[in-house]
Structure 1
Amino acid sequence: MWALRRAAHPLKNHRLSISVLRVPSPNSDWSCFGDNVGVVESSQASSGRHPSLERSYHVTSFTCQMSMGSRCLSSQAGAKSSGEEEEEEEDDAFSELEEPASTKASQKVDSADEIEDELDSEPELSADEDAEKVPQNELDLAESEMEPTKKKSRKRATSELFEAINRAPGLSVQQIIDKWVEDGKEINREEISLAMLNFRKRRMYGKALLLSEWMESSEKLDLTERDYASRLDLIAKVRGLHRAESFVNKIPESFRGELVHRSLLANYVSASNVTKAEETFNKMRDQGFTPSSFAFNQLLLLYKRLDRKKIADVLLLMEKENVKPTMLTYRLLIDTKGQSNDITGMEKIVDAMNAEGIKPDIGAQALLAKHYASSGLIEKAKAVLKEMEGGDLKKHWWACQSLLPLYAELGEADEVERVWKVCEPNPRLEECIAAIEAWGKLKKIQEAEAVFERMSKTWKVSSKHYTVLLKVYASNKMLAKGKDLVKRMGDSGCHIGPITWDSIVKLYVEAGEVEKADSVLTKASQQNHMKPMFSSYMSLLDQYAKRGDVHNTEKILHRMRQSGYMSRIRQYQCLLNAYAKGKVPAYGIRERLKVEGITPTKSMEAQLAQIDPFRKTAVSDLLD
């Protein structure tokens, strides 16, 4: 797949500034990512010599007929993506691809509150998320803090230090560790690293950050670049990217290496900050870091959400740098083709994987089944699901978590029941969550409630677990039950944050009470000083737009901008729809789109013509 000739000159020490000479490629299987192109590259060596050097070369296609385009990977400052918005800010597809095989979305809770009590609160997770798994970058950061000779300690399920900190939320980390030492227990890198790993697995980033800060202030351990990279990642997650950027300047220059930049890149991608992500990627190249699949996959994750045409650029650079695709790379490409309803293209990616001797893992198979099902190819979807079962589901029990919601998507209640019976004697927490989702999709509310009650009696459930059932109530328009569950959450002392707000918003929206949903979100964000999820705003924006309510649509758009969400095509599609439904002329709308850096799609052009206050009609021509 990647056996193409490399460019005559390596690109590692050059910043790319690529202009495109397009050659139409109507038969391209990957035309949604770009056409075959002739590229004129103007690059300047890092040594500063030959600043006007120009080179020309022609790019062929991948052996699996992946036709590629090429564009600049350096967005102009302030420019917004012109790609059509396909996903939410908290993108389920993006996160499920980033996770290890059978896991799904990782949600980040943004908070401006820096009070220790807030940091100690466990961030909420999405209902799709595996509580015991985290994105590979986070596992790498946590595990890499451990001494190489002691990584065998990963086999331990937890750490005593983690349990001590977690059991004493009213005490500071310093107090807990002081007591730890008084009790004659040793503080070493192995124990601290294992505690950090456990905090990350449970998304308890606030406590992980406090432990990281203690490591530096205590001066008991010599810090490494991995420690600084981990700290940077935690600051970005808990206190925001602005604080993380400030922290970079405090890191000793000798430790500002690839790991630190990698951590920064991942968080810019998580925040969908195209400009900063591209700047960081190019900076890594300028500094001569060895090209890694991690950096390229981060760009693929970013462009999959924001500008799919640029995926071709990443594929082109990966081949030039001889960077082999990982399973994440393949999952991204499979999912992108599936979302584009290009089933043939999706299958060719699988063929390419097989040709490379790479077998799709559970995550890739789940994506295939999902896209077959959404395209109406039910038999193909069922065939993939049977393959996931491996002939004996009891021996391949780890597939149950993925199989439950997928069989529910196909409407196969009997299959969901069969898979659940395999889990039922001794279910894992994530299988219970998957079962609740599956029964909810099938509108079998009693079965979903029964699984939830069993789960709540077996484990200490958090707001994440309540939110799974709350989403079931929302999707089935069960407002009364949803309200009761929210009250139960509050009575149980659960921390209620943006992800729970999102479910409450959707609960009211599905019940037709949009104004109430708007009010709840406004009060929650004001009282808690936390940033609502992108999808919460979009639920309101969609509903106001459908009503033709221009005033409230503009209000929500303004609030999204105040919250720091970038303007995207999807938001403005809603706005144009509101003006069209309300039959209100939109003065200066084209200028607004231009300022936001948004290029209208064909459907948007039709809407713009419809709401143009100066448009000409047959009647207006007669009157003129």
Structure 2
Amino acid sequence: MWALRRAGNPLRVRAQQVVSARGCASLEVLLNADAKDVEEHHEGNCQKACCCCKPKLPAFRLSFSSSRIALGRSFSSQAGASSGNKDDLLEDGFSDLEVPPEADKKDASLTSEDSSDEDAADEIGLPDVDADAKPEKEHMNRVSDSILLKAMLETPRHEVTKALEKWANDGNVLDRGELFFVLLNLRKRRWFGKALQLLEWVEESKLLEFVERDYASRVDLTAKVYGLHKAEQYIEKIPAAHRGEIVYRTLLANCVQEANVNKAEKVFNRMKDLGFQPTIFSFNQLLLLYKRVDKKKITDVLAMMEKENVKPSLFSYKLLVDAKGTSRDIEGMEKVIEQMETEGVEPDLTFKATAARHYIFDGQREKAEALLESMEGDDINTNRAACKILLPLYAFLGKNDDVERIWKVCKDNTRLDECHSAIQAFGTLGDVEKAEEVFENMFLRWKTLSSKYYNAMLKVYANQNLLDKGKELAKRMDENHIKFGNTTLDALVKLYVDAGEVEKADSLLHKLSQKHRIRPQYSSYLMLLDCYSKKGDVHNSERVFHKLRQIGYTGRIRQYQLLLHAYLHAKAPAYGFKERMKADNIFPNNAVATLITATDPFVKKKSISDLLD
């Protein structure tokens, strides 16, 4: 099924560190001011209340080194081996999509950054980290009475330690079950800083005897709050008896989340050197990483799994199907499914949804509709779990009646995730009023909503180019004290980019990421880079490209391709570009090699129209 081809060895890359930045302008100023005015507001000696607090971003320290792992072969099925330039053009960048490429440029694949917190936890094995600490059902039922949880939710971050000491002095006793549940609630709210402070306090106070899973949980939170470098430093302080496979696989998962290829490979090799038996979790992390950044290396992971006699899990097959689908290799995708069936692995709803999604994007409507019909079952009313998955898929097919039919099953006793899917579905169909109706009705049942649901509505406005409505919703989020995350920021960038206000989008990305201390998504910068490259704006393209590398988005070829497009449109030479890529351990595919030739001043040029075609 998988064809193999040798590739070059990686080169050593110089380490980088992101410099901390400070935020200033209020959302009101940022949304309404021109880009130039925002810069003046930021650079001037502003004394407004919105500017007095200047939180500092955590530094993302990325340590690069040459890899000893033998992963240098290509990933392509025999059936799809002749796809040539088509696959090259699709490699990396916008390939990992759950929505049509023309609809949304965001990576929303199996491990979307906009997925639920539970999904994010599953991706890096957090439930496993605290598996031994899970409380009994009786304790879970009285979590709302937890004094510790209430204290953690209500206390400002800078007063957490004082609040914890007061809690202990009041005679409260900490048990492992309550610790797990408080951490779980903080993680759900993505309050990783508070969760880390709690674990640090528990360890230093010696209220509980830490086991490996507790140390692994702290490694995970340290990586999220302070970066991979600090997480590695903490691992060295863990007692040797508790520095096991779970600790290192947690670090591996965070390397994958950062898409830091060199670091992930280094950690994987370190685990092998320490004598840890490779697990399906670790192999799945590599599959997840290479699905995102270099599909050619997936074959080598599969070869290692076979050598170590590790059988693929359902999640492994999900990743392989998604990788084949995003490469538009539907025949190869179907062979993966056949292999899975041969191995006796049963597909679940999300697996079927992934396959159906790729059939839709490939124009194979009959296969997609047959799969959706099987997902519904005999009676959708008794198969409620399928509704939230079916709604956006029927919308992608343009089947209004089916979307209304599925929503009718849910609307009288709706659930949060079904509302989220309905907003997406009606937005895809262009029915903004219906999406707004679903969104507003949610407030009749739930007093407050998380940013996830505001973001879904914000994306509807962005996709429909409704700038004013998007701005009003963003202001509403700010007034309601809804947390701004990188998904919200991504939607705002898209909102302004699609409205033709690229400079304003650029300014918002810079200011809001500082103000809310968040690391923007890869797709946010790519939208800017794409716009600047089309304008032939080399200066701003290089600036955005540098920012991508500065905050750790390395190892992806799409950003190099867009930067070359900027030089091409500007009719400017890109001196030494091939050498730049080699220094970053990136090797050009056919499409990028053509662009390098086109922008090389020492090579005879073709016409720009030929090159763009």
TM range (shorter): 0.7 to 0.9
**Alignment of 1:571 onto 2:585:** no
Matches within 5 A, 1:312-391: 312-391=299-378
Encode CA deviations 1:46-77: one digit per residue, 9 max, x unaligned. xxxxxxxxxxxxxxxxxxxxxxxxxxxxxxxx
Matched residue, 1:426 = 413
SS of 2:237's partner is: coil
Figure out how many residues of one structure are paired with residues of the other and give that number: 528
Structure 1 vs Structure 2 CA RMSD: 3.2
Change beyond 3 A, Cα 1:84–1:252: farther
Matched residue, 1:311 = 298
Matched residue, 1:606 = 594
Matches within 5 A, 1:449-460: 449-459=436-446, 460=448
- CA–CA separation in structure 2 for the residues paired with 1:395 and 1:606: 54
Change beyond 3 A, Cα 1:160–1:245: farther
Matches within 5 A, 1:14-93: 18=70, 28-29=78-79, 85-87=91-93
- CA–CA separation in structure 2 for the residues paired with 1:559 and 1:423: 44
Matched residue, 1:558 = 546
**Alignment of 1:168 onto 2:174:** no
- CA–CA separation in structure 2 for the residues paired with 1:506 and 1:139: 31
- CA–CA separation in structure 2 for the residues paired with 1:425 and 1:352: 41
Matches within 5 A, 1:167-566: 167-170=153-156, 172-177=159-164, 186-459=173-446, 460-566=448-554
SS of 2:214's partner is: helix
SS of 1:249's partner is: helix
Encode CA deviations 1:82-103: one digit per residue, 9 max, x unaligned. 99752469x6669xxxxxxx99
CA contact (8 A) 2:360 2:396 kept: yes
- CA–CA separation in structure 2 for the residues paired with 1:510 and 1:415: 29
CA contact (8 A) 1:233 1:244 kept: yes
SS of 2:544's partner is: helix
CA shift, 1:170, in A, is 3.4
- CA–CA separation in structure 2 for the residues paired with 1:130 and 1:485: 21
- CA–CA separation in structure 1 for the residues paired with 2:340 and 2:519: 40
TM-score by length of 2: 0.79
TM-score by length of 1: 0.78
CA shift, 1:323, in A, is 0.7
Matched AA of 2:460: V
| Identical-pair percentage | 47
- CA–CA separation in structure 1 for the residues paired with 2:98 and 2:77: 28
CA contact (8 A) 2:89 2:591 kept: no
- The unaligned stretches of length 5 or more in structure 2 are 2-66, 100-107, 608-613
More moved, 347-356 vs 477-486: 347-356
**Alignment of 1:586 onto 2:592:** no
- The unaligned stretches of length 5 or more in structure 1 are 2-14, 34-81, 95-101, 108-125, 620-624
- CA–CA separation in structure 1 for the residues paired with 2:605 and 2:364: 45
SS of 1:568's partner is: coil
- CA–CA separation in structure 2 for the residues paired with 1:407 and 1:423: 15
SS of 1:394's partner is: helix
- CA–CA separation in structure 2 for the residues paired with 1:336 and 1:32: 17
Change beyond 3 A, Cα 1:618–1:567: closer
CA contact (8 A) 1:103 1:130 kept: no
Change beyond 3 A, Cα 1:103–1:193: farther
More moved, 372-381 vs 157-166: 157-166
CA contact (8 A) 2:73 2:299 kept: no
More moved, 609-618 vs 394-403: 609-618
CA contact (8 A) 2:293 2:555 kept: no
The structure with higher relative contact order (CA 8 Å, sep 6+) is 2
